[in-house]
C-alpha cells in the first residue's frame, strides 16, 4: 500500500496515523484491514450528525435523562453517525475513486489497499445495519408510522444519488452541496426530534433553512478536491466560480442563514437565544477572515477546526430555544408530520 506524505494539508498537531483512523486529509498508510475500513467510514464526519441528533432531542422538548431515553439517543447517534454516515462516506469513496486517484491517492481504494468487492460488502452491511437500528427505534418509540425508518431510507437514497451515476448530485455544486448540508444538519435533527417528540412542518422547514448554512460548509470541503474536480469536469463551486469567489460564497452562506435563524428566534420571542447565536456567529466571521477568505485551499482544515465548534453550538442554542417555544408566529406550519 502506498504511503501518504506528511503534508501541511493535514490538521496541525495530528499524526498521519491519527488522520488515517479519522479519515482526514493527509492520512498515513496502513495494512490493517479494520483501520482501512474505518478510514473509508471517515469518523471525523460523524460528529455533526451525532450533534444533530442531540439538537433534535433538545428541540423536541421531551427528552429526559433516564436510562432508556439516553440509550435510545445513543442508538440514534449510532444510526446517524457510524452506520449511515459511514455508509455515505464509503459509497462516496467507491464512486470517487478516479477523483481520489488525483487528489488523495493514498486513500484505501485508489491505493489498492482494499478490493472493490470488500468495499461493496461494507456499503451493504452498513446500510442494512443502519436501517435495522432505525426500525428498532421506531418500535421502541411506539411509532404507528415508522418515521425513523423512513428518514433513514430517505437519507440513504439521497446519499446514493449524491455519489452515484447517473444523477450524481455532487456534479452540480449548488444542488450537491445543499443535499450534503441537509443530510448533515436536517436529517439527524429530524431523527432526534421524531424519536422523543413530534416532528412538525415548522421545525422541518427551519432546519432545511439552517441547512443552507451547511451548504456553505460543504463548499469548504470542495476546496481540497478542486484539482481533481476540474480534471474530471465536476462543477463544484470552486471550479465554477474560482477558489476566491467560492470562498466568499461559502462564508456568505454560513453567515447569512445563521443570521436568518437569529431573526426567527426574535420572532418567536427567544431573545436571549438570539443574542447568544449572534455572539457565536462573530467568531466564525473572524476565522473566515483569518483562514477561509485568505487561502481556502491551504487553510480549509484550520478554518473548520476553528470555526465549526461555534456553528454547532449555535445549532444547539437554536434547538433548545425551539424546544421551549410553541412557535406561535408560525403556528400555521406546525401540523405534526406522520
Average pLDDT, the chain: 87
**What percent of the chain has a predicted confidence (pLDDT) above 70?**
87
Cell 465549526 -> residue: 308
Is the confidence at residue 324, as pLDDT, over 90? no
Looking at residue 338, what is its pLDDT?
Answer: 57
Q: Confidence band (pLDDT; 50, 70, 90) for 1?
A: very low
Is the confidence at residue 270, as pLDDT, over 80? yes
The mean pLDDT of 6-17, rounded to a whole number, is: 44
Is the confidence at residue 64, as pLDDT, over 90? yes
Is the confidence at residue 201, as pLDDT, over 70? yes
For the record, the C-alpha cell of 312 comes out as: 454547532
For the record, the C-alpha cell of 42 comes out as: 471517515
Q: Confidence band (pLDDT; 50, 70, 90) for 327?
A: low
Q: Confidence band (pLDDT; 50, 70, 90) for 222?
A: confident
Is the confidence at residue 50, as pLDDT, over 90? yes
Domains of the chain: 32-199 (1.10.357.140), 200-331 (1.20.120)
Amino acid at each position: 500500500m502506498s504511503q501518504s506524505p506528511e503534508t501541511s494539508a493535514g490538521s496541525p498537531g495530528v499524526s498521519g496515523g491519527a488522520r488515517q483512523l479519522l479519515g482526514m486529509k493527509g492520512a498515513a498508510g496502513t495494512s490493517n484491514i479494520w483501520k482501512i475500513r474505518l478510514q473509508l467510514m471517515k469518523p471525523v464526519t460523524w460528529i455533526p450528525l451525532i450533534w444533530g441528533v442531540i439538537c433534535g432531542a433538545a428541540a423536541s422538548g421531551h427528552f429526559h435523562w433516564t436510562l432508556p431515553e439516553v440509550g435510545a439517543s445513543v442508538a440514534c447517534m449510532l444510526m446517524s453517525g457510524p452506520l449511515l454516515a459511514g455508509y455515505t462516506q464509503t459509497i462516496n469513496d467507491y464512486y470517487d475513486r478516479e477523483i481520489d486517484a488525483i487528489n488523495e491517492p493514498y486513500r484505501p481504494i485508489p491505493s489498492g489497499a482494499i478490493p472493490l468487492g470488500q468495499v461493496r460488502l461494507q456499503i451493504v452491511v452498513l446500510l442494512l445495519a443502519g436501517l435495522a437500528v432505525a426500525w428498532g427505534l421506531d418500535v421502541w418509540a411506539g411509532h404507528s408510522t415508522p418515521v425513523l425508518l423512513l428518514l433513514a431510507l430517505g437519507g440513504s437514497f439521497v446519499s446514493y444519488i449524491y455519489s452515484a451515476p447517473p444523477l450524481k448530485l455532487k456534479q452540480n455544486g449548488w444542488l450537491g452541496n445543499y443535499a450534503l448540508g441537509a443530510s448533515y444538519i436536517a436529517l439527524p435533527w429530524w431523527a432526534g426530534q421524531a424519536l422523543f417528540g413530534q416532528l412538525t412542518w415548522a421545525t422541518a422547514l427551519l432546519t432545511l433553512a439552517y441547512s443552507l448554512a451547511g451548504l456553505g460548509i460543504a463548499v469548504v470541503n470542495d476546496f481540497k478536491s478542486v484539482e481533481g474536480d476540474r480534471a474530471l469536469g465536476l462543477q463544484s463551486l470552486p471550479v465554477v466560480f474560482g477558489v476566491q469567489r467560492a470562498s466568499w460564497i461559502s462564508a456568505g452562506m454560513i453567515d447569512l442563514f445563521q443570521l436568518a435563524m437569529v431573526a426567527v428566534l426574535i420572532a418567536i420571542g427567544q431573545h436571549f437565544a438570539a443574542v447568544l447565536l449572534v455572539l457565536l456567529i462573530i467568531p466564525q466571521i473572524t476565522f473566515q477572515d483569518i483562514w477561509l477568505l485568505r487561502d481556502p485551499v491551504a487553510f480549509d482544515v484550520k478554518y473548520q477546526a476553528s470555526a465549526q465548534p461555534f456553528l454547532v453550538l449555535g445549532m444547539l442554542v437554536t434547538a433548545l430555544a425551539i424546544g421551549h417555544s410553541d412557535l406561535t408566529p408560525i403556528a400555521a406550519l406546525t401540523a405534526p408530520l406522520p
